[in-house]
Chains A and B, each alone.
Chain A
């Protein structure tokens, strides 16, 4: 008797999420980072007033608290009474964040990163990698909780699970 693929898929997700939540070596990050002002430096910016987008281009560096992100292009989308949305694309986008308890810096990279200015979750999409010390997490898509420095989920963009966690491996 074949088992239900939907059930299998759900069970696999549960296992991955559980593994990630228990992932050792990941320390709490600066809780206040998500409430800090965002600073962006770039060569130029295109402002589309009607769509509420500001597209920063050329050697873009975004900082928010201890978070530092570099990208080829960062788009800030703003609408009245709504949270600002940030989308970074690059080859790659690089990301780093300090942790609270002296366990070092979390570093990552992906083709694309997106998050809400005051949100806890940062999505890293396309050849995403997160590294802390000797621990590495690789996936096509990583959902990272930047308030707690926890990798919440990883999934393959191509539909097949292909998440690789290396604990204490070689850098």
Chain B
């Protein structure tokens, strides 16, 4: 009889300990959720147009976007319809545009998302170049660009299709298409 009582009391105590631990854990989780900083906007700009000059005062890069939104917690920036111009010393500039963009807080990574178009128009002695792809990853400080997506490059009547691309923007610009390359060249009789 006494043993049965002890067993019931012990069981109740064990249940109490489990319930207490569960409540404590729940409240800790709620507190953690409460203390997680929210992804909050601290400022935004509309009709952005900024130009970066080189050391000799010539335009080096220009960024135009419909809207630029900055987030307080991770210092990241979102871009709506970004259009970039990369100036070349003695040749026409390269124009890069995408649907949206995201710049990391430390400025190391720029993602150009959705459809991306890269254009360089013709000039005397310079062939035009038009590249269509998706989801570019840019490392601005390294002047490096890459994508895993399908790439379609066009120059006059010639075209090259491939999968995956790397671009080194340091002059002179080098483009590498990584897989399944198909080139097509029209021949003037």
A interface residues with partner B (beta carbon < 8 Å)? 34-52, 54, 56, 64, 76, 78-80, 83-84, 117-118
Contact = CB atoms under 8 A, between A and B. Distances in A.
A116 B178 CA distance: 26
B179 interface: yes
21 contacts: A34-B187, A34-B189, A35-B189, A37-B185, A38-B183, A38-B184, A38-B185, A40-B184, A42-B183, A43-B179, A46-B174, A46-B176, A48-B174, A49-B172, A49-B175, A50-B172, A54-B160, A54-B183, A64-B187, A78-B155, A80-B124
Nearest to A47: B175
A26 to B, nearest CB: 24
Interface residues of B, number: 30
B64 interface: no
B21 interface: no
Interface stretch (B30-38, B44-52, B125-133): B125-133
A135 B24 CA distance: 93
Given A44-B162, A49-B172, A117-B187, 7 more contacts: A36-B187, A40-B184, A41-B183, A44-B181, A45-B160, A49-B173, A80-B127
A79 to B, nearest CB: 8
B122 interface: yes
B182 interface: yes
Contact of A45 (B129, B171, B181, B187): B181
Nearest to B182: A41
Contacts of A48: 172, 174
Contact of A47 (B122, B177, B187): B177
Q: What 9 pairs across the A-B complex have the smallest Cβ distances?
A: A50-B172, A40-B183, A47-B175, A35-B189, A38-B185, A42-B181, A45-B181, A117-B187, A45-B177
Contact of A76 (B120, B153, B179, B185): B185
A43 B181 CA distance: 6
Interface string B54-95: 000000000000000000000000000000000000000000
A80 B181 contact: no
Contacts of A34: 187, 189
Given A45-B160, A54-B160, A80-B127, A39 B174 contact: no
Contacts of A56: 181, 183
B182 A40 contact: yes
B143 to A, nearest CB: 14
Contacts of A78: 127, 155, 158
Nearest to A52: B127
A84 B187 contact: yes
B126 A80 contact: yes
Contact of A44 (B172, B177, B185): B177
A41 B162 CA distance: 10
Contacts of B129: 49
A36 B124 CA distance: 27
Nearest to A36: B187
A45 B176 contact: yes
